[in-house]
Amino acid sequence: MEIILGSASRLRLKTMESLGIPFRVVPSHFDEEQTKKEDIEELVVATAKGKADVLAPMYPDAIIITVDSNNFFDGKIYGKPTSCEQAKEWLMSMAGKSQEFYTALVLTHFATGKQTIDVNISRFFFKSFSEEILDAYLAQVDPTTMAIGWAPAGLGLTLLERFEGEPGADTALPLVTLKKRLREFGAEV
C-alpha cells in the first residue's frame, strides 16, 4: 500500500526517511489560515484533518499522513511569525523557559474510510541565550516558515537546552505513534 507524507517540511521528510520504508511526499495545499480555533488541541487537529481532506480523495488507495503542530507558551498559541522582528520578540521572551509543542498526527485511507487522530504534547526547554546568539540564528533562517520562527535543527539547536517527548516529536512527526498507526493500516514498519 502506498504511503504519502502530506507535508512540505524538510524536517518531517528527514524524520520519515529514518523509518526506512518507501513513501512519497505530496504537500497538501490546505490553507492553514482558514482554521480558527481558540483551543490549541482543536486547532492542530482541525488543520491536520483539513490537510487530509484535501489529499485523501486524490489518492484513495494510499495511506495519507498529515500533521500540524503549534506552540503554547505563557497561556497563548504561537504559530508562524509574520516577520523576523516578531520571531525575535517571541524567542527572546522564551529564553530560559519552556514551551509546550502540540502535534496532531492524522492517518487517512480514503477508500476504506479509516482515519486515526492522535495528539502528541512535548516540551522544549530553551537556554538563556543572548540577543546576539538569537540574531546569528535568525540571520541563517526564514523564521516566517516555522512555528515560533524556530526549528530544532542546525543553529536552532544552539538555543535549545533539552527536549522532552516522543522520538520524532521534536520535528512534529512522533515516530512511536506513527509506526503504531501505520501497522494498524497494514503497513510493514
Task: State how far the Cα of 142 lies from the Cα of 37, in Å rounded to an integer.
Answer: 26
Check: CB of residue 66 under 8 Å from CB of residue 106.
yes
SS (H, E, C) the chain: CCEEECCCCHHHHHHHHCCCCCCEECCCCCCHHHCCCCCHHHHHHHHHHHHHHHHHHHCCCCEEEEEEEEEEECCEEECCCCCHHHHHHHHHHHCCCEEEEEEEEEEEECCCCEEEEEEEEEEEEECCCCHHHHHHHHCCCCHHHCHHHCCCCHHHHHHEEEEECCCCHHHCCCHHHHHHHHHHCCCCC
- Respond yes or no: is residue 68 known to be catalytic: yes
Q: Which is catalytic among the residues 31, 39, 53, 68?
A: 68
Q: Active-site positions?
A: 68
